[in-house]
């Protein structure tokens, strides 16, 4: 009996809810129709027309911009195709692209981007001249990636060396192999090798460097024959002693052994 009453109350509640919703919708429709027939009907019509025109104009503008971008992309692809066709002609003539003929080609193909045929960390960009100006720099269209990045012939961008396959191109693994670091400061009296430690020929790990510098011991972290970072061994505040490079880490063990052997 109780379940029947509960079910009855539930049905009554649903009926009341449906009636309420129907009443609200009916009144809203009447209100809308009364407003449309009111003295402000022309005002609402003008507003709706203006809103619609604005939406159409915005859509037309977006479509034109989209078509323009597609057109530019297609034109760029055509220009690049023509440029690579000329480069292919060089190879067929057994002429390797170099600073001279690429500079001449940049005058015709301003959108050309291509890697150096000899150096993996260098590339040519005919649409942008290099910011690095030096009398020994062969052409203004030649660029260098930032160490330790290499130029990818797949993405046509400077990428991390681990993501680039250099094949037969020279792969610079030391900052001083980069032209920029060799001549970045002509007035500097500090040689490049004294500013950038070399990890070529070193196993991965922490190694001593800058041994002639005064102060806490300097170290370099090597990986894949490249210098990943440099730093100094810290001062141990607990033992109140300077740490040194011991077995590939900064430690006080070396000092402890020296002290124990002198006693």
What residue numbers bound the domain in which 136 lies? 83-183
- The answer to whether residues 162 and 149 touch, using CB atoms and an 8 Å cutoff, is no
Please report whether residue 16 resides in a domain. no
Look up the pTM and report it. 0.61
Please report whether residue 58 resides in a domain. no
Whether residues 178 and 206 fall in one domain: no
The count of structural domains within the chain is 2
Whether residues 144 and 226 fall in one domain: no
Please report whether residue 195 resides in a domain. no
Whether residues 179 and 236 fall in one domain: no
Which of 183, 210, 226 terminates a domain? The answer is: 183
* Closest to 177 in 3D by CA, of 217, 121, 96, 103: 121
Which one-letter DSSP state was computed for residue 175? G
Is 117 exposed, middle or buried, given 0-12, 13-18 or 19+ CB atoms closer than 10 A?
Answer: middle
CA separation for the pair 175, 166 (Å, rounded) = 17
CA separation for the pair 120, 102 (Å, rounded) = 16
Whether residues 115 and 158 fall in one domain: yes
Per-residue pLDDT of the chain (263 residues; tens, 9 = 90+): 444 444 444 544 455 445 554 444 454 444 444 444 444 555 545 555 565 566 556 766 766 666 566 556 556 665 667 778 888 888 888 888 888 888 888 888 888 899 999 999 999 999 887 776 666 777 888 999 999 999 998 899 999 999 999 988 999 999 999 887 776 655 457 788 888 999 999 999 999 998 778 888 899 999 999 999 999 999 888 888 888 888 888 888 644 444 444 43
Whether residues 89 and 166 fall in one domain: yes
């Amino acid at each position: 009996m109780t379940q029947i009453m509960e079910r009855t109350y539930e049905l009554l509640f649903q009926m009341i809810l449906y009636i309420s919703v129907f009443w609200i919708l009916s009144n809203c429709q009447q209100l809308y129709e009364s407003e449309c027939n009111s003295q402000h009907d022309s005002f609402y019509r003008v507003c709706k027309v203006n809103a619609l025109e604005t939406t159409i104009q915005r859509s037309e503008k977006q479509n034109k911009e989209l078509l323009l971008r597609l057109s530019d992309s297609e034109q760029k692809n055509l220009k690049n195709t023509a440029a690579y066709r000329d480069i292919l002609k060089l190879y067929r003539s057994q002429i390797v692209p170099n600073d001279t003929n690429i500079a001449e080609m940049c005058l015709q193909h301003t959108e050309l981007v291509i890697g150096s045929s000899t150096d993996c960390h260098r590339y040519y960009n005919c649409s942008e001249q290099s910011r690095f100006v030096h009398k020994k720099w062969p052409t203004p269209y030649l660029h260098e990636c930032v160490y330790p990045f290499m130029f990818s012939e797949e993405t046509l961008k400077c990428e991390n060396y681990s993501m680039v396959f250099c094949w037969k191109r020279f792969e610079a693994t030391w900052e001083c192999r980069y032209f920029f670091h060799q001549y970045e400061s002509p007035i500097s009296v500090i040689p490049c090798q004294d500013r950038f430690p070399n990890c070529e020929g070193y196993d991965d790990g922490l190694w001593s460097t800058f041994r002639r510098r005064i102060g806490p011991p300097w170290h370099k972290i090597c990986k894949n024959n490249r210098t990943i970072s440099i730093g100094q061994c810290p001062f141990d505040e607990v033992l109140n002693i300077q740490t040194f490079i011991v077995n590939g880490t900064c430690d006080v063990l070396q000092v402890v052994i020296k002290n124990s052997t002198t006693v």
